[in-house]
Structures are given as structure tokens and as C-alpha cells.
Amino acid sequence: MATTYATGKRKTAVAKVWVKPGSGKIVVNGMDLNTWLGGHEAIKLKVVQPLLVTKQEASMDITATTLGGGYSAQAEALRHGISRALAAIDADFRATLKPQGLLTRDSRVVERKKCGRRKARRSPQFSKR
């Protein structure tokens, strides 16, 4: 089986993901997953969640490039990309990933600032007198 490509997105982060059969090695931006995320164990679990759900953690090699956003948004974009690549590989994976919500693009982004306001919705302090 050849390499499968998918793109994952979250907030302003984008992850380009290549999945191929292998030994379960994950390389992100030229670093392994532990080096890339350091001690953030909960975020590491988010990244490997699609592999755990489809029981492919030891049989797929993942190479990814992430850009934009912070490390947490990049990790969630990576999770989205891995899920989409696995769904492209096998329809049975799609049936497993879809109910978990892993194929849905989380469309929540930061609301823009409006004029006359201090932030997106925060009004200036009101003074009665």
C-alpha cells in the first residue's frame, strides 16, 4: 500500500500528514512526537487517539508538518489529519472514527475585534456620572 496524504485543520493551525504502513513511528516537523510535545502527555494522547481507536498504533508510520497556531491547536490539527488519512485508507476506519467525532473539522476560531469595543464583545466601562 502506498503513502496516503491528508490535511488537518484547527483554529489557524494546519497539519500536512502522510500515513504509510510501518512500525508505528510518528515524526512531526523532523522530530519524534516526544521531542515535539515535550511533557504534554494529554496532548500526546489526543494526537494518537485516531490510531488507538482504529488499533493501528503499531502498524502505521506517520510523517507530518505543522504550521500556524500554537502547539495545542497544531496537535489537534494533526489528529484531524491522521483521522482523514486513515479514513481514506479503509472505509471500516471511517465507520470507527466518525462516531468518535474525529473526522469533524472543529470550526471554532477567535472572534474578531469590533470597533467601539475593547475586545470582540467587551464594551468600554460605563460611567453614569
Distance CA 101, CA 22 (A): 26
CA distance 96 to 128: 58
Domain limits for position 29: 4-100
State how far the Cα of 94 lies from the Cα of 34, in Å rounded to an integer: 27
- Does residue 14 fall inside a structural domain? yes
pLDDT in tens, 60-111: 999 999 999 999 999 999 999 999 999 999 999 999 999 999 999 999 999 9
Whether the per-residue pLDDT at 1 is higher than 90: the answer is no
Q: Given pLDDT bands bounded at 50, 70 and 90, which one contains residue 122?
A: very high
User: Would residue 126 count as lying in a domain?
Assistant: no
For the record, the C-alpha cell of 94 comes out as: 471511517
Q: How many domains does the chain have?
A: 1
76: domain CATH number? 3.30.230.10
Query: For the sheet containing 4-10, what is the strand order?
Result: 4-10, 13-21, 60-67, 26-28, 31-32
User: Contact 62/3 with Cβ under 8 angstroms?
Assistant: no
Banded pLDDT at 40 (limits 50, 70, 90) = very high
Residue 89 has which C-alpha cell?
485508507
